[in-house]
A and B are shown apart, each in its own frame.
Chain A
Amino acid sequence: MSKKLIEFINVSFRYSEDSPWVLRNVSFDIYEDEWVAIIGHNGSGKSTIAKLVNGLLFPGEGKILIDGREVNEDSIWEIRKKVGMVFQNPDNQFVGATVQDDVAFGMENRGVPRSEMIERIKSTLNAVGMQDYRLTEPHRLSGGQKQRVAIAGVLAISPRVLLLDEATAMLDPKGRKEIMQTVSNLLGKKGLSLITITHDLEEVVQADRVIVMNNGEVWDVSKPRDIFLKKDALRKIGLDIPFVAILADELRESGLSISREPLNHEELLEDLWTLYSKM
C-alpha cells in the first residue's frame, strides 16, 4: 500500500461563527502517486478544500494531515513546501520577467542555492515541455504555456502534492490538452499526489479516484467508472455525464447489452465490436 500523503479527518469549516458551514464533516485520504479529481457544483466546497490543504484556511473542526504533519499555524511554512498549487487564471500567477525568472521565484523565496536552481529550472521546464522558452517573456506565451510554466515553478520546489484548482478552466481546448498531458507525464515519477479540482469531464475520467462534493459534504468517493454509473443522481446535484456514458445508456435502451460503463470511445467501440461478432 502506498503512503498516505493527505488525510482529512472529520473536517468542518465556516468563515465566521454566525455564517453557515461551508464544509461539513469531510473525511478522505489521498495516497502517493495517486491522481484524485474533486468535482462538484459551484459552491459545493471544492475550492475551500484546496485552501485548507496548504493552510490558507484552517479547519473549524477536525484536522488535516499532510505527509503525516498536522496543518496549523506552526506548520504552515513547512506544509507549503510540500503542497504546490496552480490556480485558474494564468495571468494572475506569472511574476517573472522571463520564463526562467518565473520558475526561479519560488526557489528564491526558499533560499535554494544558485547552482541547484539552474539545475532545477532545466529539469522542471523539461518536465512540462517548455525547455525552449527559458528566456521568453510571459506575454508571448499562450494560456496553456503559462500554466505549464506555473506548474514548473511549483515542481521546482519539489512538493509532495500538486493541486490544480480549475487550472484549465480559462484555457482553450488545446491548452487543456497540454496541461493534462503534462500532469499525466509527471505522475508516478516523482512520488507526487495530484489533485485536480475541475468541471472538465475528460480530467475526471483520467483520474484514479474521484471525490464528489455536494453542499459542503463528501457525496461519493470512488473510481470514475463507478461514479458515472450514478447518472441520474449526478445530474440531480448539478453535474454532467460524459458523452460515452449517455450513449451507452441509449444503446442499452435500444436493447444492446453493454455491461461495463465505458470511460472512453475505444472501450465502447470494443464492446460494440464484441456484440457484433457474437451476433
Chain B
Amino acid sequence: MDIIFENVTYIYQPNSPFQHIALQDVTFQIKSGSYVAIVGHTGSGKSTLISHLNGLTIPTEGTVSIGDYSLSKEQKPNDMKGLRSRVGVVFQYPEHQLFEETVEKDIAFGPDNFGIPKEEIKRRMEEIVPAVGLPTDVLQRSPFDLSGGQMRRVAIAGVLAVKPEVLVLDEPTAGLDPRGQREIMDMFYQLHKEQSLTTVLVTHSMEDALKYADHVIILNNGKKYMEGKPEEVFTQKDALHKVQLDVPEIVQFLMKFNHKFSTSLPFKKQTIKELAETIQHVVRGAESS
C-alpha cells in the first residue's frame, strides 16, 4: 500500500498551556513495497509520525493516506479495524505487551480479534513461529519464562500473524545484544522481500538504515529535514551534524581517508570488502609511479 503524508501537522494538547507541536507540515510519499528508514534524534517526532500509520493518531492538519484509507481532521475511516489489520506495528519494547498464559494464546490474540478463523491462525503459526526464530516447543510455555530476546520474538510473531501489508518497526532491536539485533533485522528484511511488505523502520542506527532501507527520511524538531536514497543522505556530513546525527561509520572512514590521501573516492553503498579493495589500490598506487 502506498503511504502519503500531505502537509501533516500534529499538535499535542492544542490550545492549552501544554500545547506541543510534534509534527509540522510534513509531506512525503512511501511507495508500496519499499523499505523506508525514519531517522532523527530523540524528540524529533518519529514516534508521533508512525502512530499516524495505523490511525492511533489523527492529523491536526493535513491528510495521511494509506492505500485507500484516508485520515484527516474531517475524515476518519469507517473501517479502522481494516486499516489496523493491514498495518502491523511493532512498538518499542513490544515484549511489555505480552499478557497471555501461553505463547500460543498470545500470538493468536491479534489475529483472533481480527476475526481470523482458528484453523487459519494455527496454520499461520506453523509458518511464523520458525520464521521469527522460535523453537516450536515454546508454544505451550508461559511467555514470561522466556528470555528477553525470545519474548520479543513472541511479540513480533503476534504482529506478523495478522499478515499485515505494511510493517512498522519502532526501534525493534533496542536492548538486544549484537547477535540478537542482527538476527531480528535480517528476519524483517527477509519477510520484507518474501512477502513484498512495505516496511517503515524507525531507528537511531545509521548503520541499519544504510544496510536495509532504500529510502531515508530525516526528521528534526517535527519537520522533515532531508529525504532521499541512503547513499545520498548519508554523505551529507555537515547537514547531519547540524541535527545531531552522524554519518554511518563506513562513510566517516571514507571521508577521513579521502582527506588524508587527497583522493575523492565516492560513497556508493560499497561493502567493507569493496572499500578495502579500492583503498588497497590507492595505497599501492605509489608503487607503480
Contact = CB atoms under 8 A, between A and B. Distances in A.
A253 to B, nearest CB: 7
A272 B278 CA distance: 13
A253 B276 contact: yes
A166 to B, nearest CB: 8
A276 B253 contact: no
Nearest to B280: A254
Contacts of A243: 249-250, 253, 272
Interface residues of B, number: 39
A26 B252 CA distance: 39
B139 interface: no
B260 A269 contact: yes
Given A40-B177, A247-B272, 7 more contacts: A169-B174, A172-B244, A173-B246, A199-B177, A247-B275, A276-B286, A279-B285
A273 B42 contact: no
A114 B253 CA distance: 51
Contacts of B147: 42-43
A56 interface: no
Interface string A169-188: 11111110000000000000
Q: On chain A, which size bracket covers the interface?
A: 35 or more
A42 B272 contact: no
A240 interface: yes
B273 interface: yes
Contact of B43 (A142, A268, A279): A142
Interface in A5-51: 40-43
Contacts of A135: none
Interface string B247-283: 0011011001100110000000000110111011011
A246 interface: yes
A250 B261 contact: no
A200 to B, nearest CB: 9
A96 interface: no
Given A42-B148, A279-B286, A254 B277 contact: yes
A256 interface: yes
A130 interface: no
Interface of B: 41-43, 147-149, 174-180, 204, 206, 244-246, 249-250, 252-253, 256-257, 260-261, 272-273, 275-277, 279-280, 282-287
A279 B283 contact: yes
A143 B244 CA distance: 14
A265 B256 contact: yes
B273 A250 contact: yes
Contact of B283 (A43, A172, A253, A272): A272
B257 A269 contact: yes
B245 A173 contact: yes
A255 interface: yes
A255 B277 CA distance: 10
A131 interface: no
Contacts of B176: 42
Nearest to A238: B179
B175 A88 contact: yes
A162 to B, nearest CB: 22
A251 interface: yes
A23 B261 CA distance: 49
- Which of B179, B257, B284: most chain A Cβ within 10 A? B179
Contacts of B179: 41, 238-240
B280 A199 contact: no
What 3 pairs between A and B have smallest CB-CB spacing?
A250-B276, A238-B179, A240-B178
A244 interface: yes
A166 B149 CA distance: 16
B177 A41 contact: yes
Contacts of A250: 272-273, 275-277
A130 to B, nearest CB: 17
A254 B42 contact: no
